[in-house]
Amino acid sequence: MDAVRVALLREVLAGTEWPGAARRFAGALRRSVVPAGGNLLLVGTEGYEPWHLAAHLVDEAAWSGLPELAPTLVRHRVLPGDAPHLSVGLSRLGAARRGHTLLVVAPEQPGEGLLERVHDARRAGATVLSLDGGDPDLGALAHDVLSVPDGAAELDLDTVQHLVSAAAGENGLPVQRGRKRFRDRLARLADQLTAPPPSRW
């Protein structure tokens, strides 16, 4: 979706919560990614692969001069012969740690396997963001959530992804500068306190 269509969409949605909610969530995304880039992991569910959002974020990263917005698309199924940018499997989530951002797009229930991997990534220090259909388990794991319940009157999750990706590349949104918000520091401390002891014990 090009800038003109996004502008028209925002005009149509003026007076609803969605343009502001998308900008707020895009701001959380911008604050969570590190300027070096390469640490934004984008994953969907087994039945929904957010390749369209990945493509838009790559475009926004190039147009805005913010390479950190270009995500690594993490896929549930990688086939032999897939292009390198389509060959990153779920095992990549196991390497997520502090400095990484995990953006989960889940129109339906994410499934226990994905929830476990997201939980492990969060405990390892990754920031978790969720664009979802309102799943409470995923919402509880995420540091920030934008939910679009099935049957929302104005739009669907695909349309919200366009709003978020466009807003993420706009000038004027905050960029991570190394200082975490108090809420983020408190969440990280809670994760550390509730983590099991190291395996050597």
Q: pLDDT by residue (tens digit) across 35-83?
A: 766 799 999 999 999 999 999 999 999 988 999 999 999 999 998 888 8
CA-nearest of 114, 96, 113 to 105 is 114
pTM exceeds cut of 0.75: yes
- 38: which residues sit within 8 A by CB, 6+ positions away? 67, 68, 70, 72
Please state, in angstroms and as integers, the Cα–Cα distance from residue 57 to each residue in 81, 102, 183, following that order: 24, 14, 26
In the sheet with 72-74, reading across from the earlier edge strand, the strands are: 72-74, 40-43, 101-106, 127-132, 144-147
Burial profile 77-112: b = 16 or more Cβ within 10 angstroms, e = fewer:
eeeeeeeeeeebebebbeebeeebbbbbbbbebbbe
Region class of 74: left (phi > 0), else alpha (psi between -120 and 50), else beta: beta
For 147, other C-beta atoms within 10 Å of its C-beta total 19
- In the chain, which residues have pLDDT < 50? 175-180, 198-201
What pLDDT shows up at residue 201? 34
